[in-house]
């Protein structure tokens, strides 16, 4: 379902500092669609190098659903591959490096084991 957060937790969308990603439109490309929140979540995990199976497991989806999201992403951003879709998303600032390199989908740092967390 478009617009749904991860297991209802709202992790990914809790702390956006840039424009809302759930309604991103490619500027100057009129007929291009928008990326849903779910598609953007998938794209961040793609950018992290996860396989379709790993993304499906992480997001509690069927692998075929991940494949459908990827097909929609490719069409909407005009990309033909995972690296190209990631490049466009980074270039357009739909996703940021901090979201790719952090352990959580909201861009926060993973807990420090020294803190006893």
Q: What is the CATH number of the domain that holds 89?
A: 1.10.10.10
Alpha-carbon gap, residue 110 to 43, rounded angstroms: 20
Q: Is residue 6 part of a domain?
A: no
Structural domain of 81: 34-102
Q: Is residue 14 part of a domain?
A: no
pLDDT digits (tens, 9 = 90+) for 2-56: 444 444 334 444 433 343 344 344 333 433 457 899 999 999 999 999 999 999 9
Q: Is residue 109 part of a domain?
A: no
The model's pTM is: 0.62
- CA distance between the termini of the chain: 33
pLDDT score, position 11: 42
Contact status, residue 33 vs residue 76, Cβ threshold 8 Å: yes
pLDDT score, position 105: 56
Number of domains in the chain: 1
């Amino acid at each position: 379902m478009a617009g749904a957060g991860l297991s209802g937790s709202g992790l990914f969308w809790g702390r956006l500092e840039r424009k809302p990603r759930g309604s991103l439109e490619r500027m100057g490309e009129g007929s291009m669609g928008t990326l849903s929140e779910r598609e953007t979540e998938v794209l961040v995990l793609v950018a992290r190098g996860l396989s379709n199976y790993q993304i499906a497991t992480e997001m509690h989806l069927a692998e075929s659903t991940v494949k459908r999201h990827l097909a929609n992403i490719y069409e909407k951003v005009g990309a033909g591959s995972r690296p190209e879709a990631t490049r466009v998303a980074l270039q357009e600032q739909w996703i940021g490096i901090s979201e790719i390199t952090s352990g959580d989908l909201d861009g926060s740092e993973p807990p420090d084991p020294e803190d006893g967390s």
